[in-house]
Amino acid sequence: MFRSKISGLGYYVPDNVVTNDDLSKIMDTNHEWIVERTGIHERRHKVLEEDTTSGMGVKAARKAMERAGVEAKDIDFVVFATLSPDYYFPGPGVMLQKELGLNTVAALDIRAQCSGFIYALSVADQYIKTGMYKTVLVVGSEVHSAGLDMTTRGRAVSVIFGDGAGAAVLTRSEDETGILSTHIHSQGEHAEELALIAPGMGGRWVSDILKDNDPDDLSYMPHMNGQFVFKNAVVRFSEVIMEGLEANKLQVSDIDMLIPHQANLRISQFIQQKFGLSDDQVFNNIQKYGNTTAASVPIALTEAWEEGKIKTGDVVVLAAFGSGFTWGSVVLKW
């Protein structure tokens, strides 16, 4: 049985910075209202005709590959996590495979929303552990800004989300470092508490929306039951972090760095306080980027590593919760 390790990290965010004050000019909100509820000060929105989900993923992947010291010919498999693909189909994995000039390797798309990168790491880890692949490229990328209701009607959701991409190259570990375990879960009974219902076969198709031309039709806008999501998130975050620690006979005190999905700073702070972790043991960057769903964990992980907050031998825990409901954790030794 092999072990996989993260050999390279990279991220990309658009140049278009959107502050809370910018949003206050187009909807009934203000900086204080947003910060109090989410902790977000600004986020990035795509540059029109420049940034795409697959394109941002390519830029993040190239950085990760360069840092890992691998070339296109070395990549055996691609796992691409997103809820905002360029096309309804095909998924962005094959588009990234083309742009990077990879061989005819498999490209798997993951639809687990905010937990997408955790799910993707878990899949990649299994392929490396079994010996099927040696080098796997894992990407999380999102373009939210094109699908948000940027009016007062949609402010509860639209102030939260941002665009960006993160990537990791997983390779076989030849020592005791690498991913120790992954843990993923779902609970579909709460699917519609955080969802975008249409367009889709389960909702109203594009032709129906265009025909009705109803300005009050919200089926194609993200819906979130904020309080319900928050209550479930703090419970599932706690459970899956402990599941990972217990699986590896570790204690909370063994955590050197916790990288939580950047859903809401208040959720991260709640978990930090519950586990008694110091500010040096938890990394947050939602203040700058908002919630980038599948890109959230790899962007934060990359920044924490770049800033020297993660060192060789550290026990690092990644955790996420999101639409589905889905949630998961990864425990690794750096």
Catalytically active residues are 114, 261, 291
**What's the length of the chain?**
334
Q: Which residues contact 16 (CB under 8 A, 6 or more apart)?
A: 44, 45, 46, 47
CA distances from 50 to 14, 45, 144, 208, 276 (A): 9, 11, 14, 30, 43
Is 15 exposed, middle or buried, given 0-12, 13-18 or 19+ CB atoms closer than 10 A?
exposed
How far apart are alpha carbons 162 and 30 in whole angstroms?
17
Query: Do 293 and 111 contact (CB within 8 A), yes or no?
Result: no
Helix (H, G, I), strand (E, B) or coil at 92: helix
Q: Which residues contact 116 (CB under 8 A, 6 or more apart)?
A: 81, 82, 83, 110, 140, 293, 294, 320, 322
